Structure 1
Amino acid sequence: MREGRFRVGAAQAHPYRYYYGAITILPGLEIDGRISEIIGVPAPGLPDYGNYKDKAVDLKWQFLPEGKWRPAVALGLMDPHGTRLYASQYIVASKQIYPFDFTIGFGNGRYGSAPLPVAGEQFKMEMITDSSSWARDGHFFGGVQFEVSDGLMLIAEYSPIEYEKMTADPAQSRYFQGPAASRLNWGIRLRPWDWLEFDLTWQRGDQVGFNVSVAFDLGNPMVPIYEPPYREKPDLRASSMEKRIARALYESGFSHIGIQRDGDHLRIEAANNRYFYNMKALGVALRVVHGIVAQTGRGEFRRISLTVTQNGVPVLEARTAAEDLDAFFGERFNVSEFLYLSEIRTDVWKTPDVRKEYWRYFDYVLKPDFKVFLNDPSGFVNYKLGVAANVLFTPWQGSTFAAGLLGYPVNTVSSSNVPSSTPVRTDIVPYQQQKLAMGLLLFNQIRKFEGGLYGRVAAGYLEEQYAGLDWEAAKPVRDGRFLVGLSGSVLKKREPGSVFGLKENDWKDRYLTGFFNVRLNVPEAELTVDLKSGQFLAGDRGTMVTVSRNFNGVVLSAWYGISGTAMFPDSYNAGYHNKGIAISIPLRMFTGRESRTSYGTAIAPWTRDVAQDITHFDNLFDFIGRNVDVYTEKDKRMIQ
């Protein structure tokens, strides 16, 4: 698949049923996640769980792209972690000679003569660590696809899988006492549209199979995003220039607007409430300001400074000559020429000391909220569907008083797991079972200081399980290639089922966290890598690594945490490493209009206590975001 392509689907060939998703997160690097269900084989000792199910993550790296004469070559790792029921490591080559597409590969494990051993919390790659056994145990596989026409293909493949030898597979003892009737599989593939694919197959010589999948490009809006240009109402033209600029900016999606004349220098401040990217907001604001100044103040000003703020905190500033701005929007300068003559800064920390117009004191956020919890003994899938509503009050720069309500009319959450004797998240089930709860009630303050230092403090009911004090400091270094910071919390657990109550007789009277944080920004690949090292909620110490990839606002993240687990007396937490994946999707992808709102969800083990932290109302690294020099150099082209 091409970079940024995402596919989800389901397949079945008795006794196996698969649910899967795949994404090409970087050029040539594909990551797959799948759930394998074995029909008719119950999970041992779990009567309410249903059929046996296995989770796995696969990776495929095409390190050699296809050329005119040479094939594409890729390495694959199937299920390198955990139980490794269906693990394999393979190398595969493919070549298209239209209308044929040929594939041949070699792999061990599932494709070889014997299953691979359990890896537990390790990641195993015998292909590298024991290449001789990989070569000795492996088998060849291959296939050919014939494209009859656009949207219709015929498929034939050779499968080396020796089902009767895969003794780690729970299906083997019931369904595969002997070899498969055939190692040849046949199929027909229909692709009526670029985003839909359906396969009908004949497998193992005795089974009908099917596969259906949908695919799309992450970051591509479903509706093209269009913001109509500002059109001033005729009755406003009699107002002062300051009033006209303030009104124009307000109607264009800004608030907290301050305007100051300083001789021949016009200074403007405006908070971005609408645009997903602050650089886009800066471009819109410059165009709006130019449209008014060109009518009323041409020749009166030589310099114009425009500062974009978030919640009143300055993050970006453009400084330009008035004549250059006029030349740019008059199409006498192109973007490169205008940017060469202008200055865009991220180290701005003060704003004009003038009265603000259109101060936005109150705001609200209303989001659908869908949470999925997987692999609990009480049932493989638990979920809840509802609404998260927050009311926000901003009395001064950088401040937020927030009250949040969580409502889940559809809630199937349950668990037969008993919380550990040192719980920080294993006792979360009573909180998650509430159909109506106060999600948060807090005060949050962010401030930016000279030199690019940011500070944040929050106090109150910080999330649905914890209340207390949360603080953070952060600073960009090396033009924002790195963000470094410190953070910590002093917390007490909330009483489930009580609006304001705090838990008494908890195993800890208070919970203390403290971290040293680092983020590496790689704008060239739209990639960030976060490291959080220190003490987690339970007192375990270690490091959490989070890797995130941005596709035009759609952010995919995966994290992996390692901490000392000797303090946990139970085997459920001992030796465990925290891990999970998350996705954040901007509202603008669906509406065709600009919006700063995003919807997020995550999939992670939800009843573990290792390497856990609270949910933060604001995170300074995310608040700083792209407002650093290494990103502004890339984002400047949004100014149009």
Structure 2
Amino acid sequence: MLGDLSLSAGLGFGRLASYGAFSSPLSFLSDGFETRAVRDVGKGGEVEFGEWFQGKAAFFGGLSYTFHKDLTAKIEYSSDIYNLERAYFDHRSPWNVGLAYQVNKSFSLGASWLNGSKAALSAHLTIDPMSPPNGPGLELSPTPIQPFSGVKSFSKQKVTDLTNLRNVLQVDGLKAVGILIEGSNARIQIENTTYRPYVQALGRTLQTASRFLGDDIKTISVEFVAKGLVLSSSTARRGDFEQLFLSTDSSDTQLDQLQIGDQKYLRSDFDKTQKISWKIEPYFDYSLFDPFAPFMGELGAKFALKYSFSSGTSIDGEIKKGLIGNFDANYRASDSVLPRVRSDHPLYQKYGDPGLSRLTFTRLAKPTPSVYSRISAGYLEEMYAGMSGEVLWKPANQRLGLGIEINHVAKRDFDLRFGVQDYRITTGHASVYYDFEQGFSAQLDAGRYLAGDYGATFSLTREFGNGWRMGGYFTLTNVPFEDFGEGSFDKGIFITIPFDWAAGRPSQQISRVNIVPITRDGGARLRLKDRLYDIVKPAHKGAIYREAARLWK
């Protein structure tokens, strides 16, 4: 970059050497660089190392000049002649020119003249995860902290006010499902249905408790509860509150003064809880990368109903109805040589509208302070009905987790009513979870998949301090690449965007974007609701520390 002028240049091979090419400049190293083999992509999914830097080469490059802080002119020389696109693209010149106007830091417009034959208009929307649209947030400030002396005096002692404690927590979006005073310790069991980062709910509960608990309470334990499970317990000495709140130490250092551990017993008055809940909300399903229809989608509505028999025991169902979409526009019969456990999913979209997406009985339990269990039975997901069992060992203050899951399912009828097909399968996986530092976490699942194949899935996720997550996965099984079909093996990447980042208000809603090149039958697992690790992880130590800056937010 030279002032307002920016230059770029490169050397292309293969397709990027289809115009203005010359002999490979690397041929002096080896004669193998002189020629490029005819490309054979096969089933795809493989890296073709043998084609790197082989065959003829060509230069490409460009320059841009900023006339004004918001207006930039660009010129480009392209070494791609677009041979494969000749049927609908007329390549007359290697030169492209254009103008770009930056409307604001997130939005820009462009106009271009391409290859001497095409005019183009473009619009670009840029999202910066480090710059939330609403700054640090629009939520109300937490309850002011109440200083605590910890010593007796002749003045009137403050007494515990549990009624106001519950009411203020409720206004703050936190439900106190149980409060137990044990000597000088107060245990407050909180159901957090408002704040995505549990550390924010932790800080707000501690501040509120400091105002409404009596002077005889020396320690406070905040125990997070979800779906009838006590996920974690964070204990702090009452006398440390004011020092923690006023401290200039980093949030991580402040959290080090809390004892984060496990708690088994849930003490709550279930009869006073809401046993029936329901909601109606929109949904959007999509499919990418089909060669005949690169993007397909459907916008619709879904109705969900849940009845809780007791704490941790419930039955819930969901009905979906598509309203607008093009999933029917390009149905192609599956050519899979494996049992069609996923590749005929379009048939469910075609014949199961409206349809029963799920109707499941679920029992969640915690047999020991660090062990969780789940039993599910019914119509587990759109394509399968049956039974599923899972056990997870995950101490709240440790990075390692171990789990095992066993399922026996039958494939559902395409109309998404109550019938099932003849295909039945028993699947199961042993899982290892590890929460690394710097926001990285990994998961390894090994076992038997829906098509009867055996193998393992590895996934790696990076979670940032603002709640954004991105990651990827791949699955390798004993199915040969040739039998798997297009793509050779299952793989994909994903990005998760928290709603509170965009709206600036507390919310546990997230938007997950999955980018999967193609869905085949090898390496396919059940798409179960309420897998245990997804429930417990947000309230455990690694997640608490990841967004430590929200402790007093």
Which TM-score applies when normalising by structure 2? 0.82
Q: Report the alpha carbon displacement of residue 285 of structure 1 after superposing the two structures with TM.
A: 0.8
Letter of the structure 1 residue corresponding to residue 16 of structure 2? Y
Partner in structure 2 of residue 493 of structure 1: 411
Whole-angstrom CA distance in 2 between matches of 1:619 and 1:220: 32
Please report how far the alpha carbon of residue 405 of structure 1 lies from its aligned counterpart in structure 2 after TM superposition. Answer: 1.5
Structure 2 gap ranges (5+): 19-35, 145-157
Unaligned runs of 5+ in 1: 1-95, 233-237
**Residue equivalent to 2:278:** 364
Structure 2 residue 181 is matched with structure 1 residue 261: yes
1:102 has 2:24 as partner? no
Aligned equivalents of 1:340 and 1:435: distance in 2?
50
CA contact (8 A) 1:189 1:198 kept: yes
- Which of these residues, 198, 207, 212, is aligned with residue 287 of structure 1? 207
Residues 340, 483 of structure 1: CA spacing in aligned structure 2 closer, same or farther, 3 A cutoff?
closer
By how many angstroms is 1:459 displaced? 1.1
Could you report, residue by residue, the CA deviation over 1:429-484 in whole angstroms, capped at 9, with x for unpaired residues? 23212321111111223333446222222111111211111122223489643433
Tell whether the 8 Å contact from 2:384 to 2:412 is kept in structure 1 after alignment: yes
- 1:145-180 Cα distance to aligned partner (Å, 9 max, x none): 1111111112122222244xx4xx2x246756xxx5
CA shift at 1:585, angstroms? 3.5
Alignment of 1:290-305 (within 5 A): 290-293=210-213, 297-298=214-215, 300-305=216-221
Q: Select which of 433, 438, 448 maps to 2:356.
A: 438
Q: Provide the residue aligned with 1:227 in structure 2.
A: 139
Q: Residue 192 of structure 2 corresponds to which residue in structure 1?
A: 272
Q: Cα distance 1:139–1:338, how it changes in 2: closer, same or farther (>3 A)? A: closer
How far apart in 1 are the matches of 2:476 and 2:279? 34
- Equivalent pairs counted in the alignment come to 515
Q: 1:590 to 1:390 in 2, by over 3 A?
A: farther
The within-5 A match list for 1:349-360 is 349-351=263-265, 353=267, 355=269, 359-360=273-274
> Aligned pair 1:579/2:491, yes or no?
yes
Matched, 1:534 2:447: yes
Contact (CA 8 Å) 1:529, 1:546: kept in 2 or not?
Answer: yes
Instruction: State the match for 2:303 in structure 1.
Output: 389
Q: What residue number does 1:424 align with?
A: 341
Aligned to 2:98: 187
* Residue matched to 1:213: 124
**Which residue identity is paired with 2:40?**
V
Matched, 1:242 2:154: no
CA distance in 2, matches of 1:340, 1:210: 52
Residue in structure 2 matched with residue 11 of structure 1 by the alignment? none
User: Which among 296, 306, 311 is matched to residue 222 of structure 2?
Assistant: 306
Of the three residues 132, 140, 156, the one matched with 2:59 is 140
For residues 368-383 of structure 1, the aligned pairs below 5 Å read 368-374=282-288, 376=290, 379-383=293-297
SS in 2 for 1:612: coil
1:596 matched residue in structure 2: 508
- Amino acid in structure 2 at the alignment position of 1:363: S
1:118 to 36, 40, 46: 40
- Aligned partner letter, 2:343: T
| Larger mean Cα displacement after TM superposition, 402-411 or 217-226 | 217-226
CA deviation map 1:54-75 (0-9, x unaligned): xxxxxxxxxxxxxxxxxxxxxx
Deviation at 1:584, TM superposition (A): 3.6
Amino acid at match of 1:161: D
Map residues 557-568 of structure 1 onto 2, 5 A cutoff.
557-565=471-479
Whether the 8 Å CA contact 1:373–1:605 is kept in 2: the answer is: no
Residue equivalent to 2:111:
200
Q: 1:479 to 1:420 in 2, by over 3 A?
A: same
**2: CA distance, partners of 1:477 / 1:268:** 20
Name the aligned partner's letter for residue 158 of structure 1.
Answer: Y
Partner Cα distance (1:466, 1:338) in 2: 47
1:159 corresponding residue in structure 2:
78
Q: Measure, in 1, the Cα distance between the counterparts of 2:380 and 2:38.
A: 45
TM-superposition CA deviations, 1:184-241 (whole Å, max 9, x none) = 3322221121112223223334443343311112375444533324679xxxxx9961
Shift of 1:139: 2.3
Question: C-alpha separation between the residues in 2 aligned to 1:257 and 1:436?
Answer: 37
For 1:183, the aligned partner's letter is P
Structure 1 residues 63-103: Cα deviation after superposition (integer angstroms, max 9, x where no partner): xxxxxxxxxxxxxxxxxxxxxxxxxxxxxxxxx22111121
Alpha-carbon offset, residue 572 of structure 1: 7.0
Deviation of 1:290 after TM superposition, in Å, equals: 1.2
Among 488, 492, 516, the alignment partner of 2:430 is 516
* Residues 357 and 416, structure 2, Cα contact 8 Å, conserved in 1: no
CA distances 1:568-611 after superposition (whole Å, capped 9, x unpaired): 9x967488312334444333344432122234453446662221
Distance 1:367 1:219 in 2: 29
Q: From the superposition, tell whether residues 333 and 361 of structure 1 become closer, same or farther in structure 2 (CA, over 3 Å).
A: farther
**Higher relative contact order (CA closer than 8 Å, sequence separation 6+):** 2
Give the secondary structure class of the aligned counterpart of 1:622.
helix
Alignment partner, residue 342 of structure 1: 257
Tell me what 2:27 maps to: none
Structure 1 CA distance, aligned partners of 2:548 and 2:231?
Answer: 14
Q: Relative to structure 1, is the Cα distance of residues 337 and 583 closer, same or farther in structure 2, using a 3 angstrom cutoff?
A: closer
CA distance 1:429–1:571, change in 2 (3 Å): same
Give 1:502 shift.
2.3
Structure 1's 182 and 455: CA in aligned 2 closer, same or farther, altered over 3 A? same
Give identity over the alignment, percent.
Answer: 22
Matched, 1:316 2:316: no
- CA distance 1:463–1:155, shift in 2 (3 Å): same
- SS of equivalent to 2:139: coil
Q: Partner letter of residue 47 of structure 2?
A: K
Deviations 1:10-37 (A, max 9, x none): xxxxxxxxxxxxxxxxxxxxxxxxxxxx
Q: Which has the higher strand share?
A: 1
For 1:429 and 1:340, how far apart are their aligned partners in 2? 49
SS at match of 1:624: helix
**Which residue identity does 2:95 align to in structure 1?**
L
- TM-score, normalised on structure 1? 0.72
Instruction: Provide closer, same or farther for how the CA distance between residues 276 and 517 of structure 1 changes in structure 2, counting only shifts above 3 A.
Output: same
- Structure 2: distance between partners of 1:285 and 1:248: 10
Find out whether 1:447 has 2:365 as its counterpart.
yes
C-alpha contact (below 8 Å) 1:105/1:141 kept by paired residues:
yes
Residue type at the aligned position of 1:145: S
Please give the alpha-carbon distance, in whole angstroms, between the structure 2 residues aligned to 1:465 and 1:103: 50
CA distance in 2, matches of 1:478, 1:289: 22
The answer on whether the counterparts of 2:96 and 2:113 sit within 8 Å (CA) in structure 1 is: yes
Partner SS for 2:110: strand
- The structure-2 alpha-carbon separation of the partners of 1:340 and 1:561, relative to structure 1 and needing over 3 Å to count, comes to closer
Kindly indicate whether the alpha-carbon contact (under 8 Å) linking 2:343 and 2:521 is maintained by their aligned counterparts in 1: yes
**Contact 1:537 1:611 survives alignment (8 Å):** yes
User: Residues 219 and 553 of structure 1 are in contact (CA less than 8 Å); yes or no, is this contact kept in structure 2?
Assistant: no
> For residues 211 and 259 of structure 1, do their structure 2 counterparts lie closer, same or farther at Cα, with a shift above 3 Å needed?
same
